[in-house]
């Protein structure tokens, strides 16, 4: 079937998360260079995450917090609505790098995105909320190269040669694959963390490498899935599991397949 049964398991509570963090502090291993957060559906858990990140930033003031503000997609929220004000008021202000999709960016700013100009304004508003780097990981903005591309945009704060500050914007066309994958948002955020580490002042390069990794992983996955499904059949979710291990070499050293444009 194309519909997966719901996952099973236990949800960690805010207090249980705090106990883990206390143990990390007691063992003096609370010095991190990066922290990455993603899907969360409980308000008290998210508020505990905020407290912990504040603690980690005190322990290492140059810690970089990458926040994937996972709240929904394509016009619908899939986390409780009361998480939105927590993201707006507490989480996003702590974030250094933010990776919303179009819908999440619209929720955070209260502004609808229809055009590239709208996206630029929304990214500037998100900068004002805190993060120095913002990437809209997917949008419905029509690509000038046709509907086989999905548009992603990025923006980061830079200092120009004359010493003045500006937000540099980039635009990317990503080749679309006709399938729905699970885990691509997580992989995007993780790759952006890694590639901004190697290219901290070059968002264009970091995004080109990130999107290229995505492309290689997705291509390998869809090729395999179609082969397994057989001619004319739609692959199952199991067959569409991202081919991560098989993509190790591409993840480490992706051939660049997308050129980001500075806009």
Please return the burial class of 66, using the count of CB atoms within 10 Å of its CB with bins 0-12, 13-18 and 19+.
Answer: buried
Contact between 204 and 190 (Cβ < 8 Å): no
**What is the closest distance, in whole angstroms, from the C-beta atom of residue 112 to ligand ATP in the complex?**
17
* Contacting residues for 111 by C-beta, under 8 A, at least 6 apart: 118, 121, 122, 125
CA dihedral 198, 204, 209, 211 (to 10 degrees): 140
- Give the number of other CB atoms < 10 A from CB of residue 27: 8
Residue 139 pairs in a beta bridge with: 151
Q: Print the binding letters for residues 76-115 with Na ion: x by CB under 5 A, - otherwise.
A: -----------------------x-x--------------
Using the contact rule CB under 5 A, the part of the chain among 13-21, 162-170, 184-192, 238-246 near Mg ion is: 184-192
By C-beta, is 151 or 235 nearer to Na ion? Answer: 151
Q: Contacts with ligand ATP: how many residues (CB under 6 A)?
A: 19
User: Which residue among the candidates 73, 118, 124, 186 is catalytic per the annotation?
Assistant: 186
73 in contact with Mg ion (CB under 5 A): yes
Let me know if 140 is a catalytic residue: no
By C-beta, is 49 or 71 nearer to Na ion? Answer: 71
**What is the closest distance, in whole angstroms, from the C-beta atom of residue 201 to ligand ATP in the complex?**
22
The alpha-helical segments, DSSP class H, found in the chain are 14-26, 43-59, 83-86, 102-109, 116-129, 184-198, 203-229, 248-252
Alpha carbon 86 to chain centroid distance? 18
**What is the closest distance, in whole angstroms, from the C-beta atom of residue 104 to Na ion in the complex?**
7
* Contacting residues for 30 by C-beta, under 8 A, at least 6 apart: 21, 24, 55, 56, 59
Site for ligand ATP in 163-202 (CB under 6 A): 174, 176-177, 179, 181, 184-185, 188
Report the interface residues with ligand ATP, using CB under 6 A. Answer: 68, 70, 73, 101, 104, 137-138, 152, 174, 176-177, 179, 181, 184-185, 188, 211, 214, 218
Report the interface residues with Mg ion, using CB under 5 A. Answer: 73, 101, 138, 185
Catalytic residue positions, numbered: 186
């Amino acid at each position: 079937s194309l519909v997966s049964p719901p996952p099973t398991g236990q949800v960690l509570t805010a207090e249980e998360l705090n106990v883990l963090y206390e143990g990390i502090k007691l063992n003096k291993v609370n010095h991190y260079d990066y922290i990455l957060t993603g899907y969360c559906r409980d308000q008290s858990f998210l508020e505990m995450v905020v407290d912990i990140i504040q603690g980690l930033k005190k322990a290492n003031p140059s810690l970089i917090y990458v926040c994937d503000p996972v709240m929904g997609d394509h016009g619908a929220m899939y986390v409780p609505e009361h998480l939105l004000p927590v993201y707006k008021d507490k989480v996003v202000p702590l974030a250094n790098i933010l990776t919303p999709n179009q819908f999440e960016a619209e929720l955070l700013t209260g502004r609808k995105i229809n055009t590239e100009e709208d996206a630029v304004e929304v990214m500037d508003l998100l900068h004002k909320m805190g993060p120095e780097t913002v990437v809209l990981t997917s949008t419905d903005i029509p690509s000038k190269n046709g509907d086989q591309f999905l548009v992603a945009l990025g923006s980061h704060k830079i200092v120009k040669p004359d010493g003045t500050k500006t937000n540099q914007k980039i635009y990317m066309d990503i080749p679309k694959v006709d399938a729905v994958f699970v885990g691509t948002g997580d992989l995007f955020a993780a790759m952006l963390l890694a590639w901004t580490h190697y290219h901290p002042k070059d968002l264009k390069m970091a995004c080109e490498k990130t999107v290229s990794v995505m492309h290689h992983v997705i291509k390998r996955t869809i090729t395999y899935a179609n082969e397994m499904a057989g001619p004319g059949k739609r692959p199952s979710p199991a067959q569409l599991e991202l081919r991560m291990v098989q993509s190790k070499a591409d993840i480490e050293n992706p051939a660049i397949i997308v050129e980001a444009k500075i806009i």
